[in-house]
A and B are shown apart, each in its own frame.
Chain A
Amino acid sequence: MTTTTIKAPMPGVFYRRPDPDDPVFVEEGDHVEEGDVIGVVGVMKSFQDIKSDASGTVSKILVENEAAIEAGDDLVELELD
């Protein structure tokens, strides 16, 4: 099985949900299409969608909700279709 890892394109705070009361964007086992939002990074008072760069099944969530992240950090591992 080929895997790929979605990396943080910027530093900030990683959020797994669009809003504290909303469900998470993705859970392990979910299927995502290329371009689907898998999380949000908050930095400089704005929020940036983090999109999947491939289609596949989420095999691992590598960062906790509200974790401090650096650019280049591994966020989510995908098993490619």
Chain B
Amino acid sequence: MIKVLEAGLSTTIQDAGRYGHYHIGMPPSGAMDQFAHTVANYLVGNDKGAATVEMTYQGSDFKFTEDTVIAITGAEMAPELNGEPVSMWETLAVSDGDVLSLQFATNGARTYLAVAGGIDVTPVMESRSTYTLVGIGGYDGRTLEDGDTLTIGDAGADRSSLVGNSVADEHIPNYDDEDHIRIVLGLCDYRLTDESKEELCDAEWTVTPEADRVGYRLEGPEIEFKPREQPFGAGTDPSNVVDLGYPVGSIQVPQKPIVLMRDAVTGGGYATVGTVISTDRDLLSQRRTHQPVYFQSVTLEEALAARKARTETLESIRNSLTP
């Protein structure tokens, strides 16, 4: 078991996501940075679907009540085991009674703790991810609180031989440098004026303090829509359309852009003018409040190539580990 001594600011149990229910309005939830989540799982010998602990902006303190194997990835949180600094992106051994403490995030926003066997909470709709807006999944459907106790899943075998494995430096993201976020324009970019369509990709956008697992609200120049006759069924705001489904990562512009993240609503009446590609949603979720973001328009083929390259990177990380 893992006892949560100090929960931190916003700490939840997340996995690869809750898929197959988008049509009934259920977003996937799951780890905001799937790359860091997956690597943490690989380091402890889990599949990518195992549940990890996601900590945002502020790390947690944990006490382990059994011997196990862990890994910490994502934003730097200066982790210490019994007061001694330990490495991130590396497989670590912990013993019964050990205390792991993490500080606030520098270089990124979200940090993942994986444990051999995964965090064992009851799956809801085939996922252990927490969706706090409706209070389902994860640990009682909520963020963790001081004093909670997490059960560790059955690892099946001793994983201690993994200890000492680490991820090559070239594969560890330097999140604070990753300010270019690739998007595919559409579905409703035709609603923007030509100037605003260009500005979307030229302007410096700033992450606002409201940005969270639901949406990343950005601050920047005014975006203008082309004049139009209000269609039947659409709202009066120029950014309103007759309802449409929102892709995960899509950018809607009620006034200022909001990138819909993994806990967002699945459809509604705002024009979505572009979609952040899957690999770069991981990077966007590591941008902290006040940091700049630049959108870069790419083709669908380039987006698919980026996804393929990342899948290969993950495979190469997995294959580099000594079991």
**Contacting residues, chain A, for B58 (C-beta < 8 A):** 9-10, 71
Task: Provide the bound-state CA to CA distance between A48 and B105, in Å.
Answer: 16
Please give the distance in Å from A80's CB to the nearest CB on chain B: 23
CB distance from A46 to the nearest CB of B (A): 8
Contact at B57–A71, with CB atoms within 8 Å? yes
A-B contact number at CB 8 A: 44
Central interface residue in B106, B209, B211, B288, by most chain A CB within 10 Å: B209
Q: Which residues of B contact A45 (CB under 8 A)?
A: 210, 212
Q: Binary interface profile of A, 3-44, with partner B (CB < 8 Å = 1, else 0)?
A: 000000111110000000000000000000000000000111
The size bracket of the interface on A is: 10 to 19
With A and B bound together, what is the CA distance between A42 and B212 in angstroms? 12
Whether B289 pairs with A72 at a CB distance below 8 angstroms is no
Q: Is B9 an interface residue (CB 8 A)?
A: yes
Instruction: Enumerate chain B residues within 8 angstroms of A46, measured Cβ to Cβ.
Output: 10
Q: Whole-angstrom distance between the alpha carbons of A70 and B212 in the complex?
A: 16
Cβ of A62 within 8 Å of any chain B Cβ, yes or no, is no
In angstroms, Cα B58 to Cα A48, docked, is 12
Which range holds the interface residue count of chain B?
10 to 19
For residue B56, CB closer than 8 A to chain A, the reply is yes
* Contact A72:B106 (CB < 8 A) given known A43-B9, A44-B56: yes
Judged by a CB distance under 8 angstroms, whether B256 is at the interface is: no
Cβ of B246 within 8 Å of any chain A Cβ, yes or no, is no
B211 and A44 within 8 A (CB): yes
Q: Could you tell me the dominant secondary structure of chain B's interface residues? A: loop
Known contacts A44-B56, A44-B210: does B289 contact A11 (CB below 8 Å)? yes
**Proximity bits, B1-20, A CB within 8 Å = 1, else 0:** 00000000110000000000
- Would you list which residues of chain B between 269 and 313 have a CB under 8 Å from chain A? 288-290
Provide the bound-state CA to CA distance between A9 and B106, in Å. 11
CA distance A70 to B209 in the complex (A): 11
Q: Is the CB of B209 within 8 A of A10?
A: no
Query: Could you tell me the distance in whole angstroms from the C-beta of B11 to the nearest C-beta in chain A?
Result: 12
**From B104, B212, B290, contact of A44 by CB (8 A):** B212
Bound form: Cα–Cα A6–B25 in Å: 43
Residues of A within 8 A of B56 (CB): 44
* Contact indicator A71/B106 (Cβ below 8 Å): yes
Chain B residues, CB < 8 A from A10: 9, 57-58, 104
- Cross-chain contact A11 with B288 (CB below 8 angstroms): yes
Contact pick for B289, options A9, A43, A48, CB 8 Å? A43
In the complex, which of the residues A9, A43, A71, A72 contacts B209, with contact meaning CB atoms closer than 8 Å?
A: A43
In the complex, are the beta carbons of B290 and A11 less than 8 A apart? Answer: yes
Chain A residue numbers with a CB within 8 Å of B106 are 71-72
Shortest distance between the CB of B277 and any CB in chain A (Å): 24
14 contacts between A and B (CB under 8 A): A9-B104, A10-B58, A11-B209, A43-B209, A44-B9, A44-B10, A44-B209, A44-B211, A45-B210, A45-B212, A70-B290, A71-B57, A71-B106, A72-B104
A interface with B by C-beta (< 8 Å): 9-13, 42-46, 48, 68, 70-72
Given contact pairs A43-B57, A72-B104, enumerate 20 new A-B contacts (beta carbons under 8 Å): A9-B9, A9-B58, A11-B57, A12-B209, A13-B209, A42-B209, A43-B209, A43-B289, A44-B57, A44-B210, A44-B211, A44-B212, A45-B212, A46-B10, A48-B9, A68-B209, A71-B57, A71-B58, A71-B104, A71-B106
Instruction: In the A-B complex, list the 8 residue pairs whose CB atoms are closest, starting with the nearest.
Output: A71-B104, A44-B212, A10-B57, A12-B209, A43-B209, A11-B289, A68-B290, A10-B58
